[in-house]
Structure 1
């Protein structure tokens, strides 16, 4: 399998958690073809936590990478021309360029995001929109996928984006394996809000995670709002409100995403027919499965299976652009 080289470019004042996410997810594993290198302008890099890091590579390694990832950094200030030129060159050469959190400021300053949709941490998004009017700013999303240019919102949204990239490159099964190892909870669709007003249960209330886990074991069964609310012991109205507060999406949107994620995994890892996959994941018929695949992935289940059959013996560096769709890898993985 062809090795896919990833350069994680740590800028001065890099946020440790932003940096840890891609270096953990893209570290070498038997089931992936990634080779990851920590890069920097200088050998030593200062972090916002006060300690310094030693980088293995410089900008020359960034220039030869297949994917360049820029984690968040503070304070957000002007960057050396050498950094901006390297990022612009990566984009011009058709390399995949990714930012996590405030790393989007670096991509925007290099002109990589001009004319594209992008996002960043919600605390900095007003400044981002003001400073870079050529960028189409998406305020209420976890991440934005523009093909070869991807940006994530604040900090932990980088987990969602990086797992999304693995899913694009290597499929849902491999992404779920990595999510299980990270105990990532949950993998979320990029279109969800990055700032959820009540991400944890308030005093006296229990989280609905048990109901979501219960549902993930029963995706092939009829799961209506009434059934889910009954399992949680709540009225449908209260369940809907609490579910949206916890996840940033509605129960039915969450179910559709979970079912599509399960369908993708079954298509990749089993030889079940499209009809069987549709029934097993709860989408009912092959026609319904094809409809949702066309709407969300712009492909068919058969073409999707054929793509990932090829990827199993080749790897992301050789693959065509792989369709994307919401999947709930972390929560689904924890439930299995």
Structure 2
């Protein structure tokens, strides 16, 4: 049984902020979400200083001594295994090959669990669904296409080397107007992320705006870079703009198609869709487009039970944790791993 006087911190390291959450022995959040500036490109020692600030603020916000924090869950925006960063991503070069988990544990004097941000967000969505005891697959369109898998009982699945569930890099058979497979940011062709991500929206928007039918579209006015125009697409879609809706419809359909193959592999029962689209006014319509793509590719048994046709075998839900999901997931996991006495 957990020590009632102990608390557990979740630290989510992002490119611009470190988000932090504190939970008690019952996995209940204590105090507010804390945010401090992230300076990951300045090296891990600098970031450790930011983590110290976050822990200080968590303790102060909860009205406890910092020494009452008995465990830490940490997520990083990069591939890692056993506490060691494998790829630089947007981090400073000294992160790579360093035992980040071990160094942070030595610095704080408490045990540390570490994973990547996609896994952390999936764990957060699981923690927020207290009545769900099965598996959960998170798929989150953002700058890229990330995700994570939580197994029954609440343990995240990372694979042998911490490299599992790179959901954005499964192959899909969709092609550009010229018949070519689009090139993904990872360098491969035909990845789902090449269709479903902010980067993909920019490419798609550039191609569409070059077509004669969109010559007079408002987004074709002026010399604004396509990167800035892409950020406006959600606003246009919320107003029913034909071009924006067309682009998001294609994205949703391809995402659903890709999820069908993920479900065929891990059969999670529950698929949670994260990312910024969870907060849009057209999200129900987007979920319908996902459903259309899923129905096209998924076998009937992954949609409805052969024993009870009214029973849905794969449920879809929107993420509910928002920006705090990863920090919540890390605090929850720290409590699960380090909360027994």
Q: Give the TM-score of the pair, scaled to structure 1.
A: 0.31
Q: Which has the higher contact order (CA 8 A, sep 6+)?
A: 2
Structure exhibiting the larger radius of gyration computed from Cα positions: 2
Q: Give the TM-score of the pair, scaled to structure 2.
A: 0.31
Q: Which has the higher strand share?
A: 2
